[in-house]
Amino acid sequence: MLIVMQQGADADQIDHVCRVVRELGLTPHPIPGRTRTAVGITGNVAPVDPSGLAALPGVLDVIRVTKPFKLTNREMKPEDTVITVGGAIIGGPDIVVIAGPCSVESREATIQIARELKARGANLLRGGAYKPRTSPYTFQGLGPEALRMLAEARSESGLGIVSEAVSTDDVAEVEQQVDIIQIGARNMQNAALLRRVGRSRRPVLLKRGMAATLEEFLLAAEYVMSEGNRQVILCERGIRTFSDHSRFTLDLSIVPELKRLTHLPIIVDPSHAAGRRDLVIPLARAAIAVGADGVMVEVHPDPAKALSDGAQALTLAMFDELMAELRLIVPAVRRGPVAPR
Ligand code: PEP
Ligand code: MN
């Protein structure tokens, strides 16, 4: 259910509506818009009788939201959500490029790659401190030490940091050091973790589970938003299909469908989808062409020596090529910079 307030409704009227909603045992979520405020309602197991709410002072209309996802729904908030974070603006007119190694491996290498990527026009630095690896016997990340290296790389390069929290235990530390908390594909349905980052002040980059439907993906975002955190960035990173020529199958058709259904920004990670560096640039081009707000790619100065995901890491020379390609695509889709060199 969505209560649309009149254009001139004042704060007292909005508060009053929220109070009445709470008295019904439901949760109100005020959503300020460009011209008017709306109040989303969640928590109802059966349809709510709209007549009492429609009669409240300042209320223009009460609309039933038919889909199970509510706060993520464009019906609730028609305007795009634009997230300003770590010196970048995600979901606005400009395409955002997030780049960096799969894992943080050493202090020097992290600072060095941050500088190199900044100079080449990247907007945010990625790097895993906690790694959700498929095998327990492979490199699991340097943990808190890596977070400190990322923080140092931020002050050296000026790039904001994206890094993953794999468990509720590490969220406090991660949120202290990074600009955006990543939730990985393997954790997309970890309700406790989603709720915990929902109580964080940091924006959340939520990756699609490798077997998640669109609705499950948006309901995962709903977990985060229902705890109060409205700053969610969706990330398509490939799903598992019968196709076995690449690591996963990049589901680009979800991008325009998500754009239609949700106001949240959407970025595409072609690296994990492809699993092979030679596919990353063409898939990134396609991602921007299909309407994504940005891409996230893995880059390593010497992929052969990477401690994780070396096969899909771009070299710096390839990252240059990627940026040059995106600079051609961006104006064609009427979007703004992937900064000129
Ligand atoms: C990653 O971004 O390094 C990662 C582990 O991604 P995913 O959760 O999509 O596999
Ligand atoms: Mn990786």
Structure confidence by residue, pLDDT tens digits, 15-36: 999 999 999 999 999 998 888 8
- Number of CB atoms found within 10 A of residue 314's CB: 23
Q: Give the ligand with the smallest distance to the CA of 127.
A: 1
pLDDT for residue 278? 98
Q: What is the pLDDT of residue 340?
A: 61
- Does residue 176 sit in helix, strand or coil? helix
Question: CA angle at residue 118 from 114 to 119, to 5 degrees?
Answer: 120
Decide: 9 and 37 in contact? Cβ < 8 Å.
yes
Query: What is the number of the ligand closest to the CA of 207?
Result: 1
C-beta neighbour count of 68 within 10 angstroms: 10
**What's residue 33's pLDDT?**
84
CA-closest residue to ligand 1 atom 10: 185
Distance 260 CA to ligand 1 centre (A): 25
Question: Six-digit token pair at 62?
Answer: 């009460």
% of residues, the chain, pLDDT over 70: 99
Model confidence pLDDT, tens digit, residues 269-309: 999 999 999 999 999 999 999 999 999 999 999 999 999 99
pLDDT for 17: 96
Strand segments (E) across the chain: 2-5, 27-32, 37-42, 59-63, 83-85, 88-90, 96-100, 124-126, 160-164, 180-183, 204-207, 232-236, 266-268, 294-298
Looking from the CA of residue 126, the nearest atom of ligand 1 is 2
Residues with CB under 6 A from ligand 1: 102, 128, 132, 184-186, 207, 237, 272
Positive or negative, the CA dihedral 55, 60, 64, 67 is: negative
CA of 174 to the centre of ligand 1 (A): 16
pLDDT in tens, the chain (341 residues): 899 999 999 999 999 999 999 999 999 999 988 888 999 998 887 878 888 999 999 999 999 888 889 999 999 999 999 999 999 999 999 999 999 999 999 999 999 999 999 999 999 999 999 998 999 999 999 999 999 999 999 999 999 999 999 999 999 999 999 999 999 999 999 999 999 999 999 999 999 999 999 999 999 999 999 999 999 999 999 999 999 999 999 999 999 999 999 999 999 999 999 999 999 999 999 999 999 999 999 999 999 999 999 999 999 999 999 999 999 999 999 999 997 66
Q: Identify whether the C-beta of residue 57 lies closer than 8 Å to the C-beta of residue 299.
A: no
Helices (H), 98-253: 107-119, 144-157, 168-177, 191-198, 214-226
pLDDT score recorded for residue 282: 98
What's the pLDDT score for residue 244? Answer: 95
Atom of ligand 1 nearest to the CA of 235: 9
Asked if residues 52 and 20 have their Cβ atoms less than 8 Å apart, the reply is: yes
Cα 184 to ligand 1 centroid, rounded to whole Å: 5
Contact 286, 329 (CB under 8 A): no
pLDDT given for residue 130 in this prediction: 97
pTM equals 0.95
Structural domains in the chain plus CATH codes: 2-63 (3.30.70.1140), 83-332 (3.20.20.70)
